[in-house]
Structure 1
C-alpha cells in the first residue's frame, strides 16, 4: 500500500498489511508540514533460526512500533525511527518489511535452547 505524503491529513487513518503469517496494522496521520506519524503493531508467527543450534522454529510476536516519515533530507543527529521518503510516497509494505527484518535480526533461541541457563551470550 502506497500513499502520497501530501495527500495524508491530520485525521487518523487505519492501515493493515499482511506478509505471510504476519500482520502489520495501526494508524497514520500527518503530524507536521513534512511529517507523517505511524503507530502500529506487528503480530503473527515469524520464522526464525536459533542463534545457538541453528534449528528453524516459529515464534509468535506482538511488537509495537512508532515511526516518523518525512519528505525532506534528515540531519545526522536526528532519530533512528525516522524514514526519509524523498519521492513523497509513504510505502507501508516496505515499512512493514523493514520492521519484520529488524525483529529477525535480533538474538533468538529456539524453545529447547531457551530452557538452558548455562551458556553465555556474546554481544
Structure 2
C-alpha cells in the first residue's frame, strides 16, 4: 500500500498489512508539515536463525512500533525511528518489511541454546 504524503491528513487512519506471515497493523496520521507518524504492532511467527548454533527456528513476535516518515533529508543527529521518503510516497509494505528485517537482525537463540547457561568454544 502506498499513499502520497501530501494526501495524508491529521486525523488518524487505520492500516493493516500481511507480510511474510506477519501482521502489521495500526494507525497513521500527519504529524507535521513534512511528516507522517505510523504507530501500531507487528505480530506473528518470524523465521529466525540461532546466532549460536545456526539452526533455523520460528519465534512468535508481538512488538509495538512508532515510526515517523518525512519527505525531506534528515540531519545526522535525528532519531533512528525516522524514514526518509524523498519521492513523497509513504510505502507501508516497505516499512513493514523493514520492521521484520529489523527483528530478524537482532541476536536470537533457539530454545535449546537459550537453556544452556555456559557456552564455550575451543579453537
> Quick check: TM above 0.5?
yes
Q: For residues 22-61 of structure 1, what are the structure 2 equivalents within 5 Å?
A: 22-61=22-61
Would you say 1:91 and 2:91 are equivalent positions? Answer: yes
- Residue aligning to 1:82: 82
Structure 1's consecutive aligned runs of 4 or more residues displaced over 2 angstroms after TM superposition are none
TM-score normalised over the length of structure 1: 0.95
Match of 2:5 in 1: 5
CA RMSD of aligned residues (A): 0.9
How big is each residue's C-alpha offset from its partner over 1:70-117, in whole Å with a ceiling of 9 and x where there is no partner?
111111111111111110000000000101000000010111111111
User: Number of paired residues?
Assistant: 120
What CA deviation, in whole Å up to 9, does each residue of 1:44-64 have, x standing for no partner?
A: 000001111111101000011
TM norm structure 2: 0.95
Measured in 2, the distance between the counterparts of 1:86 and 1:53 equals: 41
